[in-house]
């Protein structure tokens, strides 16, 4: 009887164990699809996130391209092509307008009233090298056109300031005429350096041909710039107002760094003092 009872218990235990195993296996099978589904959902989320990141990157790239195109279009609007170099300081641009460089003067090569001047051909060649066929930016000062109806402009090719470059290398003189004096100090300094280094025309031309006839004082007075900034033999900077004792006999040599001023405060601000014989 005891044996039979033990056998029943044993079978019961086995049955429970089998049921437990079946239950565990069943739970495992249920959890596996859930885990697979979770992994699938996670993969789908990762895929969507990746696609979204790619779309955002494409949108940003498109925006950048549009911004660059807009900037280039704006820059291009400010550029114009030089179709012909007339001489060392005059060009013709698209549309047929002629442009005279502000602040400088080069030896003549095309003026029918004058012979070809020393270093004029070289200056024209250098100007061609710098600008002909290129896109340039034109910068204005105060006066828009000269008496020949030419545009008066400063010329830039990229970061190269063409007007200044010609003076620096000795192909042009500093020739600032009020009221267009924005870069006068740079031109005068560049000319002094070129002259001291004997660059270009400063070594190739006779002394008598390296001077420029400046406009008379009466011409400057029309522009309202009548104050004469003179540099004395000792290097002192002195300005003369109309009515000062030495005003009429004072001559301005821009090649020496002398200049015209439109206001007394302007002269004082850059280091000139008033002449002692002024009333």
Contacts of 134 (CB under 8 A, 6+ apart): 81, 82, 157
Rounded Cα gap, residues 228 and 138, in angstroms? 30
What b/e readout covers 229-249, taking b as 16+ CB neighbours within 10 angstroms?
bbbeeeeebbbbbeebeebee
Closest to 172 (Cα-Cα) out of 200, 205, 136, 204: 200
Contacts of 45 (CB under 8 A, 6+ apart): none
Contact 99, 155 (CB under 8 A): yes
Contacts of 162 (CB under 8 A, 6+ apart): 101, 127, 130, 131, 136, 154, 155, 156
Does residue 150 have an active-site annotation? yes
Instruction: Report which DSSP code applies to 50.
Output: H
Catalytic residue among 84, 137, 145, 150: 150
Q: Cβ atoms within 10 A of the Cβ of 141, count?
A: 16
Tokens of 137: 């930016």
Number of helices followed by number of strands (H, E) in the chain: 7, 12
Task: Name the β-bridge partners of 105.
Answer: 173
Tokens of 36: 């697979």
* Beta strands, E only, 164-276: 173-174, 227-231, 237-240, 259-261, 273-274
Does residue 92 have an active-site annotation? no
Residues involved in catalysis: 100, 108, 150
């Amino acid at each position: 009887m005891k044996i039979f009872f033990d056998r029943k218990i044993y079978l019961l235990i086995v049955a429970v164990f089998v049921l437990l195993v079946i239950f565990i296996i069943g739970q495992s099978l249920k959890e596996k699809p859930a885990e697979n589904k979770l992994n699938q959902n996670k993969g789908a989320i990762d895929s969507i996130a990746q696609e979204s990141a790619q779309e955002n990157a494409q949108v940003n790239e498109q925006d950048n391209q549009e911004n660059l195109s807009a900037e280039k279009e704006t820059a291009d609007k400010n550029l114009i092509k030089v179709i012909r170099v007339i001489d060392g300081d005059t060009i013709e641009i698209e549309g047929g307008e002629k442009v005279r460089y502000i602040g400088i003067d080069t030896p003549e090569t095309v003026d029918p009233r004058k012979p070809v001047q020393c270093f004029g051909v070289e200056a024209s060649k250098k100007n061609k090298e710098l600008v002909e066929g290129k896109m340039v930016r034109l910068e204005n000062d105060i006066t828009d056109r000269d008496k020949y109806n030419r545009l008066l402009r400063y010329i830039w090719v990229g970061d190269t300031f063409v007007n200044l470059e010609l003076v620096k290398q000795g192909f042009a003189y500093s020739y600032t005429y009020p009221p267009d004096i924005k870069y006068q100090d740079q031109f005068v300094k560049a000319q002094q350096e070129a002259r001291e280094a004997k660059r270009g025309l400063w070594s190739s031309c006779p002394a008598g041909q390296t001077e420029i006839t400046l406009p008379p004082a009466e011409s400057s007075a029309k522009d309202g710039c009548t104050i004469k900034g003179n540099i004395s033999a000792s290097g002192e900077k002195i300005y003369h107002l109309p009515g000062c004792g030495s005003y009429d006999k004072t001559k301005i040599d821009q090649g020496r760094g002398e200049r015209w001023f439109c206001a007394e405060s302007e002269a004082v601000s850059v280091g000139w003092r008033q002449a002692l014989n002024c009333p």
